[in-house]
A and B are shown apart, each in its own frame.
Chain A
Amino acid sequence: MLASRRQVLVGAAVVLASGCDPGRDPAPPTARATPTPTDRLLAAAAARERSLLAAYDEVLARHPDLAVRLSPYRADHAAHLLAVEPAAVVSATVAPSARRTPPREQARLRARLRALEEQAAETYARAAAGAPPGHATLLASLAACEASHAELL
């Protein structure tokens, strides 16, 4: 009885999981068409913004005192992710703390984030050059925003 209930639950979980996977979703055949270049462009941008968010979160988790300075940049990335993937879920940011990160360590962390922002700005700028008009302006704004982060980091 217990085992069979577990099997049912596991089975339901598998169905739910496969239902969440757009690659295996059997439901609407039209939605399963081959991704267009625009789909791929937006998916790449979403992956990039997730990775930038993760980089900020990694720093903020260990150095919450840097939140005052870094959280606004993180908020920009959260807005970017939602612009390229409206259904994305973005976690809340870390609260500032009184702990002091030594200046040299701060400089090292900022340099790392700056390099990531510069790389993202260059990638978006290249993508904007060849994108369809509506997306070109969005990608250009993303490039410019990441460059402004790099400028101030």
Chain B
Amino acid sequence: MTPSQVLVGLLEAEHAAVWAYGLLGARLADEELEQARAAHDAHRRSRDALVPLVRDAGKEPPAPPVAYDVRVADRAQALALAVDLEDGLAVRWRDLVGATEDVALRRLGVSGLTGCAARAARWRSLAGVRPTTVAFPGDPDRSARP
């Protein structure tokens, strides 16, 4: 994939994450709600940073869809969705690192991947999922333990 394709895919995924954290926050309380708010802010910042980069890469930044077909019935589903969101975004941020030799984009990719990995670990911890960390965030094939 070219860097511009990865950037467009990332922006679409960050739009989805911003929307989803708005949704799942309604099912959480206390420490978990704080974590959802912090994650929401982090993904908004990532989204805003990606828009000019997509333009610089010669592409039209995609607008977010009006809504997504996602339902969150309770706390358990909210936590599971948060883990999935962060794990999925980790793959895309890692793809950016592999798709470019531009140092600034690489740094952004590593930073995006790191943020997703830390949040995914925190969500797994809150959800009682063990182990809480994966050895190779963004690389599900390598992370799969025998």
Contacts and interface: CB of A to CB of B under 8 A. Distances in A.
Contacts of A130: 103, 106
Contacts of A136: 97-98, 106
B116 A76 contact: no
B107 to A, nearest CB: 5
Contacts of A137: 94, 97-98, 138-139
* B contacts with A: majority SS: helix
A121 B107 CA distance: 13
**Dominant secondary structure at the A interface:** helix
Nearest to B137: A144
A137 B125 CA distance: 25
Interface stretch (B17-25, B59-67, B70-78, B127-135): B127-135
A108 B121 CA distance: 22
A145 B94 CA distance: 12
Interface of B: 90, 94, 97-99, 101, 103, 106-107, 109-111, 113-114, 116-118, 120-122, 125, 130-139, 142, 145
Interface of A: 72-73, 75-76, 79-80, 83, 121, 125, 128-130, 133-134, 136-138, 140-145, 147-152
